[in-house]
Amino acid sequence: MNNMSPSQYKTKDYFAFMRLLDRWIGGGFLFFLGCVFRRRRPVPKDVRSVLLIKFDGLGDLVLLTGVAKDLRAAWPRVRLILLCGPFNHPLASLLSTFDQVVCLNVGHPLETLRELRRLAPDICIDLGEWSRIEALLAFFCKAHWTIGFHTPGQFRHYAYDCRRPLRFDQHELDNYRSLLEPLNLPTGHMPCIELTDTARLCLPRFHPVTPYAVLHLWSGSAKWARLKEWPFERWRDLARWLNGNGLMVYLTGGGGDQRRAEEFIATCQWADRRIESVAGLDFITLIRLIEKASIAVSIDTSITHIAAALGTKVLSLHGPSSSKRWGPIGPRAEAIDSSVPGCGYMNWGADSNRRKSRLKCMEAISSKDVIARVEAMLKK
């Protein structure tokens, strides 16, 4: 079910006013519901369906597949339903991990709520970390038992049957796994990208020249993107080294990154330059591009998680965010963290600290160190 097309929205900033309402009204409403109802119901003995809620974050969605695999392994016959948002729906709709995907109608959330109440899940697991609307939908979806995060300062935890602390000292995948602890289910499955039969039959719209590397230069964070980005001259050094070692270079990004990609390519002035922008690819083509890449190098963004889940060699560059908190999880995933004291401070991946935002985190990662790591990874 897709109640609203993601293409109707231009950027995440489009929702600034709704985020304001969510913060200042949603928290008070949840506190009221928690005081009035004080639900602490037991876990159902007969579980036939589980609703997983994750509105935002493509990388978070990829991490969530590990938890979904844990549920599937423990309860093979349980129906897994994902409630996602308009930004991660294009990827979620391609995954065979879930039996059903429902996309939130942001303009008319009551329509989505009616659909959820019709589905009447036995258990609702809210994997949202900060917004209140996810917790509200979890409360009203007619689930027999609910669980979600108690995030410091976000006032979203009052109405769950069970709550778990969102810890900033561990990886987000481990936070997600903690939501299964009250269910006494084993965890440990790694994130994976498994396409539906329909998606697998779709032909890619782009056929790359092999061998090649994928570079992802830009962040999709609405507010603090610049803090995660690596200096252009360092990317040029890396691209030149890759070309010199026989690899074509493809630059990925959103549709809005095409102009910046072209500007970057124009600054790459060497004789054997082989760089092409593929910004704005559809997800099926993007997945197949990353899957067959010799290596992917990216700042901390969803590309690193997609590559890691596909089993592609991927190097993730972390400055304001820490790889211990947000790094890619996979058999061939590696990361480089900034050496600047105080960096690695982002807790949600898109938040910041005005004082620490002055730190030159990404600038401390040298092109020499990145090229050396890439060279070592390619030899493995």
pLDDT digits (tens, 9 = 90+) for 322-365: 999 999 999 999 999 999 999 999 887 556 676 788 899 999 99
pLDDT digits (tens, 9 = 90+) for 246-281: 999 999 998 889 999 999 999 999 999 999 999 999
Least Cα distance to 47 among 142, 115, 144 occurs for 144
Q: Answer whether residue 1 shows pLDDT above 90.
A: no
Q: Answer whether residue 130 shows pLDDT above 50.
A: yes
Give the model's confidence band at 32: pLDDT under 50 very low, under 70 low, under 90 confident, else very high: confident
Domain limits of the chain? 6-198, 203-379
What does the pLDDT read at residue 106? 73
What does the pLDDT read at residue 205? 84
Give the model's confidence band at 113: pLDDT under 50 very low, under 70 low, under 90 confident, else very high: confident
Give backbone dihedrals phi and psi of 329, rounded to 5 degrees, phi first.
-115, 115
Of residues 71 and 56, the one with the higher pLDDT is 71
Least trusted range by pLDDT, from 18-27, 41-50, 106-115: 18-27
Of residues 115 and 265, the one with the higher pLDDT is 265
Least Cα distance to 319 among 234, 245, 201, 214 occurs for 234
Strand-pair partners of 82: 52, 101
Give the model's confidence band at 371: pLDDT under 50 very low, under 70 low, under 90 confident, else very high: very high
Instruction: Tell me if 189 sits within 8 A of 176, measured CB to CB.
Output: no
Q: Answer whether residue 133 shows pLDDT above 70.
A: yes
Give the residue carrying structure tokens 């060497």. 270
Q: Answer whether residue 15 shows pLDDT above 60.
A: no
What does the pLDDT read at residue 291? 97
Concatenated DSSP letters for 142-190?
--SEEEEEE-TTS---TT-SEEEE--TTS-HHHHHHHTTGGGT----PP
Q: Answer whether residue 296 shows pLDDT above 80.
A: yes
Strand-pair partners of 295: 213
What's the predicted TM-score (pTM) here?
0.91
Give the model's confidence band at 21: pLDDT under 50 very low, under 70 low, under 90 confident, else very high: low
What is the CATH code for 6-198? 3.40.50.2000
pLDDT digits (tens, 9 = 90+) for 152-190: 888 888 889 999 999 999 999 999 999 999 999 999 999
Give backbone dihedrals phi and psi of 99, rounded to 5 degrees, phi first.
-80, -25
Give the model's confidence band at 3: pLDDT under 50 very low, under 70 low, under 90 confident, else very high: very low
Per CATH, 6-198 and 203-379 having the same topology is answered: yes
What does the pLDDT read at residue 108? 78
Mean pLDDT within 144-156: 91
Give backbone dihedrals phi and psi of 181, rounded to 5 degrees, phi first.
-60, -45
What is the CATH code for 203-379? 3.40.50.2000
What does the pLDDT read at residue 25? 74
- Cis omega (within 30 of 0) on the bond before 152? no
What does the pLDDT read at residue 5? 40
